[in-house]
């Protein structure tokens, strides 16, 4: 019984343990540059693998819902596979466990399944098992990553700021027109629905702290709008 998995080229280069274990399990591993996700096991199923700390960091910096939305847009069965213990990882970052729980609830509302594994070997086995379940569904329709549009890059630029994310970045760009104009007027972002004064304060620190200052090593807290910010971002 054939097992074929398409692995994104960047993941293929960094997740050597997972890739090697997939091959040991008998999977044909196809390396490609794909638009969304890390592993494609069929025309309907995509998997984004995140180590626990990366999962927590993606909540804090606002990447999580951008990635989740793109997974859901391209595949019927999007999955985020968390490798390691996300609850233990919260102790290393300034984020409440309730915020992590809220993010998981929001992902569920978006139709994203969350799976857990303890290590790379188990991650590979879960990917292998998912590929076997979907073995009759062709993976020939994998979406190849194309060059990003200026609009997408603009949204990503602002969305990478703490507490912003894709949805709020779009609102800010609609209000101010361009990233440069938006950044020049970041103090006015709180008038945008969904952007709090706390978020603006975090953005201010990022934009005004000198790179050489000791304070630049300070870790910012979780999403500036708290658990409701996660739910709002997922709507």
How many domains in the chain? 2
Least confident of 4-13, 58-67, 177-186: 58-67
| Statement to judge: residues 90 and 158 lie in one domain | no
End-of-domain residue from the set 105, 133, 161: 133
> Does a structural domain hold residue 138?
no
> Does a structural domain hold residue 218?
yes
> Does a structural domain hold residue 201?
yes
Give the CATH number for residue 118.
3.40.50.10130
| Statement to judge: residues 43 and 11 lie in one domain | yes
**pLDDT class for 138, splitting at 50, 70, 90?**
low
> Does a structural domain hold residue 60?
yes
> Does a structural domain hold residue 103?
yes
> Does a structural domain hold residue 65?
yes
| Statement to judge: residues 16 and 119 lie in one domain | yes
Give the CATH number for residue 158.
1.10.150.20
Long-range contacts made by residues 22-31, C-beta under 8 angstroms, separation at least 24? Answer: 22/124, 22/127, 22/128, 25/124, 25/125, 25/128, 26/128, 27/3, 27/128, 27/131, 28/2, 28/3, 28/4, 29/5, 30/4, 30/5, 30/6, 30/139, 31/6, 31/7
Chain centroid to CA 31? 21
| Statement to judge: residues 102 and 7 lie in one domain | yes
Determine the Cα–Cα distance for residues 46 and 113; give it in Å rounded to an integer: 10
| Candidate ranges 63-72, 77-86, 204-213, 225-234; pick with highest mean pLDDT | 77-86
What digits encode the pLDDT tens for the residues 19-50?
999 999 999 999 998 888 999 998 889 999 99
């Amino acid at each position: 019984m054939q097992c074929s998995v398409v692995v994104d080229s960047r993941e293929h280069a960094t997740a050597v343990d997972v890739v090697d274990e997939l091959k040991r399990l008998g999977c044909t591993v196809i390396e490609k540059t794909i638009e969304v996700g890390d592993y494609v096991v069929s025309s309907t199923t995509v998997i984004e693998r995140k180590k626990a700390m990366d999962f927590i960091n993606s909540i804090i910096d606002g990447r999580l819902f951008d990635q989740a939305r793109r997974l859901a847009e391209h595949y019927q069965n999007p999955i985020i596979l968390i490798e390691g213990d996300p609850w233990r990882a919260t102790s290393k970052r300034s984020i409440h466990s309730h915020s992590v729980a809220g993010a998981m609830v929001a992902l569920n509302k978006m139709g994203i399944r969350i799976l857990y594994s303890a290590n790379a070997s188990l991650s590979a086995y879960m990917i292998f098992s998912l590929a076997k379940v979907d073995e009759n569904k062709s993976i020939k329709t994998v979406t190849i990553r194309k060059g990003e549009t200026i609009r997408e890059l603009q949204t990503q630029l602002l969305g990478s700021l703490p507490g912003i994310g894709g949805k709020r970045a779009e609102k800010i760009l609609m209000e101010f027109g361009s990233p440069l104009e938006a950044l020049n007027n970041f103090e006015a972002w709180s008038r945008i629905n969904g952007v709090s004064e706390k978020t603006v304060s975090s953005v201010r620190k990022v934009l005004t702290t000198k790179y050489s200052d000791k304070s630049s090593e300070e870790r910012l807290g979780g999403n500036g709008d708290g658990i409701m910010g996660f739910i709002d971002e997922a709507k």
